[in-house]
Structure 1
């Protein structure tokens, strides 16, 4: 028995889209009918300073389901809940949050849910 579904193997070295913003970038792959993104966030990055001007909303309205490859990200939810997320963790963030890089290491995230519209200029 064989599969009729096509195999896709790709790397972020050749993304379909790269969205640059202050202190970071989003690299986006379109594959298997879906979108996956890798966010590379440099020290000094904060959503409310670097992406909010692009999004035009008070809080990040992109829900995320992401794997944290490296670095530490501090997340503040619109309800006031705050926490840190680091390497090896998986996070599911609903709409309504801000976040920033903690320390001097790049934060690298692989996002299966929020990448399609993240930091997309209109």
Structure 2
């Protein structure tokens, strides 16, 4: 079965505690999110209260469309992503937007991301 849905009119809009949101489209078994992480966004402040875990436990796969984000993994390693970077990020991290531009990411690993437990 073929299907379509525009990301600008998503099935779901998941607001973060502050500083952004995730538009979510689910077609069959495929889920895609477009996250808009506004300046000042930080996972530990804006999503941790929703997720209820010490660090992000989502396995992210996607592409950064604009802006920049820093990711610090539980083991202390850090990674910075920016426009055009394709990512495969293991669970167990904190992250934050860098600079004054929103970071926009398309992410296929977000079926349960930023959903209350």
Shorter-chain-normalised TM-score: which range?
Answer: over 0.9
Larger Rg: 1
1:103 aligns with 2:106: no
Structure 1: stretches of 5+ with no match in the other structure: 1-5
Which of 12, 29, 53 is the matching residue for 1:17? 12
Gaps of 5+ in 2: none
**Between 29-38 and 15-24, the greater mean CA deviation after superposition:** 29-38
Instruction: State the shift of 1:117 in Å.
Output: 0.5
Q: Distance in 2 between matches of 1:30 and 1:119?
A: 15
Q: TM-score, normalised by structure 1?
A: 0.91
Aligned pairs, number: 116
1:23-57 alpha-carbon deviations (Å, 9 max, x no partner) = 01011001142111110010000000110011111
Secondary structure at the aligned position of 1:45 is classed as coil
Q: How does 1:26-41 map to 2 (within 5 A)?
A: 26-41=22-37
1:104 deviates by 0.3
Q: Secondary structure at the match of 1:58?
A: coil
Q: What is the DSSP-based 3-state SS (H/G/I as helix, E as strand, rest coil) of the residue aligned with 2:22?
A: strand
Q: 2:38 aligns with which of 14, 22, 42?
A: 42
With the length of structure 2 as denominator, give the TM-score of the two structures. Answer: 0.94
